[in-house]
């Protein structure tokens, strides 16, 4: 990455590792479809609860651990797949 930056190429730390724009768009589309599928599986409320928990995660602790420590209620029963 440093060598590429020295050659004048724009490099973004934590970026896509040099993938082409087309590859990046393809990855983004896959993430979008995956999120939609999950939302359809667990419903809007379940998806929102997952986001709430995920938003609390840090590099050292999971969202569930932080929610428990800080007394933030997370209703994991909403995570179940709808039939």
Q: What is the pLDDT along the chain (83 residues), one digit of tens a residue?
A: 567 667 676 666 666 666 677 777 777 888 788 778 877 888 888 778 887 888 888 888 888 888 889 898 888 787 777 66
Number of domains in the chain: 1
- Between CA 33 and CA 40, with CA 62 as vertex, the angle to 5 degrees is 25
Residue 11 lies in a domain: no
Residue 1 lies in a domain: no
Confidence at residue 34, expressed as pLDDT on a 0 to 100 scale: 79
Residue 51 lies in a domain: yes
Residue 53 lies in a domain: yes
Confidence at residue 54, expressed as pLDDT on a 0 to 100 scale: 80
Rounded distance, CA 62 to CA 48, Å? 17
Where in the sequence is the domain holding 74, given as residue range(s)?
21-78
In the structure encoding, which two tokens stand for residue 40, read together? 């359809």
Closest CA to 46 of 20, 11, 79, 2: 79
Confidence at residue 18, expressed as pLDDT on a 0 to 100 scale: 63
Residue 70 lies in a domain: yes
Residue 59 lies in a domain: yes
Rounded distance, CA 76 to CA 80, Å? 8
Residue 28 lies in a domain: yes
CB atoms under 10 Å from CB of 67, counted, come to 19
Residue 56 lies in a domain: yes
């Amino acid at each position: 990455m440093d060598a590429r930056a020295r050659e004048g190429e724009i490099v973004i730390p934590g970026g896509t590792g040099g993938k082409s724009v087309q590859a990046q768009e393809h990855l983004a589309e896959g993430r979008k479809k995956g999120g939609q599928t999950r939302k359809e599986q667990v419903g809007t409320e379940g998806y929102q609860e997952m986001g709430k928990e995920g938003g609390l995660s840090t590099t050292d602790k999971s969202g569930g651990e932080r929610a428990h420590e800080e007394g933030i209620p997370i209703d994991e029963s909403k995570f179940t797949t709808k039939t």
